[in-house]
Structure 1
Amino acid sequence: MTAEDEALTGGMTNTGAVFRRGAVVERPAPRNARTLHAHLLALKEHGFDAAPTPVCLTSDGREQLGFIPGDVALPPFPDWAMTSSALESVGSLLRRLHTAGTAVTVDTRAGWPPDLADPEGGTMLCHNDVCPENVVFRDGRAAALIDFDWAAPGRALWDIAMAARYWVPMLDPASAAALHPRGLDAAARLRVLADGYGLSASDRAKLPGVVEQATKVCRAFVARRVAEGDPVHLRALAERGGWERWDRAQSWLVDHRRTFTAALLD
């Protein structure tokens, strides 16, 4: 890191290893970076210009990407990032990604990370980590997605469910209050996200169940990181209520499944 470098914060995977140098961001390259870069360029060719533009891979295992100006919400998440209009724009941005993604053939030999991937698979590349730290805003609306490290083939509905976990959020009120503004109406916000995306009636009926499925996958992901002794996830688990918080959130999702379904379909 030089005096001209600016450390970029946010996220848990590459903490302390992402830097901006002028118009370029340099960060650790994922193992399948060459294929991922090709996919990002193909998305741009099909009209999705709201992702980082690959610049190059360095000899020391890092990648350089074009910097995307704007605002990124970091925890605890500010009120401006949790408005209904911001949430609607996240759904709209995700729909743009998926529309372009349906036109791009996914290289299934690329070794996409399975950690947060849709267990049912799919033919489209999902982002899989559309959390507030990975969405760039301009003028209060979602303008771009960053950090495609966990991208993998899956269903569009899986990507929406993963985004809902973070943005609604799909958490019991006690858990949500740790990072989000108090008083958010989860059922109403899930409807806003679905409306912003333009989700079909059949997928709306399935969404609450897929959120439950996604929550189990995320819990297993955290459990693997904790078992490996990863200090970032160990600290986060301790600070956010341990496994009791995960148990409470999963039970809350099941208990409110009918409420979410009604809000989505009424």
Structure 2
Amino acid sequence: METGHDRDHPLHGGMMNTVRRRGDRVLRLAPDHAPALHAFLTDLAATGFTGAPRPLALNPDGHEELTYLEGDVALPPFPAWALNDRTVTLVARLLRRYHDAAAEVPFDPGARWPTALSDPEGGPLLCHNDPCLENVVFRDGRAFALIDFDLAAPGRPLWDVAALAFYLAPTLDPESAADTGFRDADVPHRLRLLADGYGLSHADRALLPATVVRYNEVSRAFVLDRVERGDPVFTRDLERLGGMARWDRRRDRLIEREPLFLRALTE
């Protein structure tokens, strides 16, 4: 007889993979570089870092099994608690804990790490590259874990911080922000909170605004590529949000406000 632990339950929120929960594990289609990623995540757990899934199996049918991390994941439309300033600080601290642990873990430089959202300059550790709210597990009032490492690739820690700023400041233009919970967000203030929470160096603070601009361009190219490939999920999402013009407005707004962001981060 089938029990509740045998039955699969869909997990919602991802755009690139179908994810199911079966008891205390997650089943999902494995990326091509799964052997290298699994080796990294296994070694990451050995450092004592508990804020990432542990790999359990690579199955012959092309699926992987990972530990299920109990907690809350914020999905759009985001709840109020996920939008507040405290969440910015908590997630920045989680990202720093991840980077500190990842710096101790070697990764296979010969693996075919995905380049879709990776740092164009490369770097010394495996960046997550997609630290959006949908990829953060909250537990007992704090940001507990990062999930969905499919797009992880070598890069600079600053690249991940820029990605976090892109999602959580967030660096939206007013028109795009108007239909979100971030409509009244004080972006320069939230950037400062993020940098302080992470413990970003003065040198990297000076580079952060320009790096966010670059992350925006890489993200734009990633979305456009998915749409041109005929991906129905990305195509529907792009149409819902007003097409590529939204990305162009975001780029122009970022460039316009770069001096303001720089002052907020360094003064």
TM-score, structure 1 normalization: 0.96
User: Any gaps of 5 or more consecutive residues in structure 1?
Assistant: none
1:12 aligns with 2:15: yes
What's 2:78 paired with?
77
Partner letter of residue 85 of structure 2?
Answer: S
Quote the Cα distance in structure 1 between the aligned partners of 2:73 and 2:237. 20
User: Any gaps of 5 or more consecutive residues in structure 2?
Assistant: none
Residue 82 of structure 2 aligns to a residue whose secondary structure is: helix
What's 1:245 paired with?
246
- For 1:42-121, what aligned pairs fall within 5 Å after superposition? 42-121=43-122
Quote the Cα distance in structure 1 between the aligned partners of 2:188 and 2:95. 19
Quote the Cα distance in structure 2 between the aligned partners of 1:119 and 1:196. 25
- For 1:217-236, what aligned pairs fall within 5 Å after superposition? 217-236=218-237
Quote the Cα distance in structure 1 between the aligned partners of 2:182 and 2:157. 28
Quote the Cα distance in structure 1 between the aligned partners of 2:218 and 2:38. 26
Partner letter of residue 246 of structure 1?
Answer: W
Partner letter of residue 130 of structure 1?
Answer: P
Q: Give yes or no for contact 1:78–1:181 (8 Å, CA) kept in 2.
A: no
Q: Give yes or no for contact 1:86–1:140 (8 Å, CA) kept in 2.
A: no
- For 1:146-161, what aligned pairs fall within 5 Å after superposition? 146-161=147-162
What's 1:122 paired with?
123
Partner letter of residue 220 of structure 1?
Answer: A
- For 1:132-147, what aligned pairs fall within 5 Å after superposition? 132-147=133-148
Q: CA deviation at 1:22?
A: 0.9
After superposition, the C-alpha distances for 1:111-148 in whole angstroms (9 at most, x for unaligned) are 00011010001121000000010000113321100000
Partner letter of residue 177 of structure 1?
Answer: A
Partner letter of residue 255 of structure 2?
Answer: V
Quote the Cα distance in structure 2 between the aligned partners of 1:179 and 1:58. 40
After superposition, the C-alpha distances for 1:125-183 in whole angstroms (9 at most, x for unaligned) are 00000001000011332110000000000000001101111111111122123343421
Q: Give yes or no for contact 2:170–2:182 (8 Å, CA) kept in 1.
A: no
Quote the Cα distance in structure 1 between the aligned partners of 2:219 and 2:167. 11
Partner letter of residue 23 of structure 1?
Answer: D
Quote the Cα distance in structure 2 between the aligned partners of 1:214 and 1:118. 8
TM-score, structure 2 normalization: 0.96
Quote the Cα distance in structure 2 between the aligned partners of 1:170 and 1:141. 23
After superposition, the C-alpha distances for 1:38-82 in whole angstroms (9 at most, x for unaligned) are 101111122321100111011100000110010001011111011
Partner letter of residue 134 of structure 2?
Answer: E
Q: CA deviation at 1:191?
A: 0.8
% identical equivalent positions: 54
Quote the Cα distance in structure 2 between the aligned partners of 1:236 and 1:139. 32
1:193 aligns with 2:199: no
Residue 92 of structure 1 aligns to a residue whose secondary structure is: helix
What's 1:29 paired with?
30
Q: Give yes or no for contact 2:52–2:145 (8 Å, CA) kept in 1.
A: yes
Q: Give yes or no for contact 1:116–1:128 (8 Å, CA) kept in 2.
A: yes
